[in-house]
Amino acid sequence: MLLQILFLGDSVTMGIGVESDSTFAGHIHHSTDSISVLNPSLIGYSNADYLNISRNVIQSDSLSNQINSTYLFWCLNDIYANEFSTIGFTSDSILDRLVALFRNHSKLFHFLKATLTDRPKQYFAHDVKFYSESDPNFKQAIRNLASIDSIAIENNIPFTIVLLPYEYQLRDDARITSSPYNVFEKHLSSEGIKYLNLTDQLSAYKTPSQELYLYGDGIHFSTLGHKLIAEELLKSLN
């Protein structure tokens, strides 16, 4: 029997910066002839997009009977809608154009940015602010996820949210403090939504956390990071 799985996600699940066969979606798709992965993930997607895709794919007359399971891969920035994607973004500012030029063509730019700044920590510090029960983005995200879960239940499709950490969340000093996923998990549980948090599994690997992500990134996984995620997901599937 062929198990067809729908993956919902953004650029992390799309596997930006990694060959398609080396992403966790690619690993799982090619792991056995009995698994097929449908992965419509794109850069800039967030929780509202995941709901729209669920409505169009799971409820589609041509696809609903073909999907056996749905996994939504959640990163911290999925809590809010991205106003624009870096792809196709233009600005009339000369400074912005110069920065974009160096960003796109200078390896030295990326080396200095990674060396002189802690971008992963800055990304985390910005996005963690949204994980509050009083934040409207948080409330809307929970509503959208509950709607996806309802769609899955109506179509008898198991639905699981996979929580993926930022690189900073794997550091010892960050793990001493309360995880932003704690309050998130509490609300997922209250809605009866199944989830799998891979933070502990990824932090348990005996390798520096930076090696699991693209250089100087902290959000998007490296080839090694994708491989480890695939191994953990295959355990769950088996």
Give me the pLDDT at residue 125, please: 92
**Considering the chain, what percentage of its residues have pLDDT values greater than 90?**
71
118, pLDDT greater than 50: yes
Q: What contacts 144, CB < 8 A, 6 or more positions away?
A: 47, 48, 50, 51
Q: Do residues 23 and 30 make contact, with C-beta atoms less than 8 angstroms apart?
A: no
The total of structural domains in the chain comes to 1
Compute the average pLDDT of residues 159-167. Answer: 97
Summarised one tens digit per residue, pLDDT across range 174-211 is 665 668 999 999 999 999 999 999 999 999 998 899 99
Compute the average pLDDT of residues 103-128. Answer: 67
Which element (helix H / strand E) includes 72?
strand 69-74
* Better-scored residue on pLDDT, 82 or 146: 146
Q: What is the CATH number of the domain that holds 142?
A: 3.40.50.1110
Q: Do residues 180 and 82 make contact, with C-beta atoms less than 8 angstroms apart?
A: no
71, pLDDT greater than 60: yes
The boundaries of the domain holding residue 78 are 3-237
Q: Do residues 162 and 196 make contact, with C-beta atoms less than 8 angstroms apart?
A: yes
User: Which DSSP letter does residue 179 get?
Assistant: P
Q: What is the average pLDDT value for the chain, to the nearest integer?
A: 86
63, pLDDT greater than 70: no
Q: What contacts 98, CB < 8 A, 6 or more positions away?
A: none
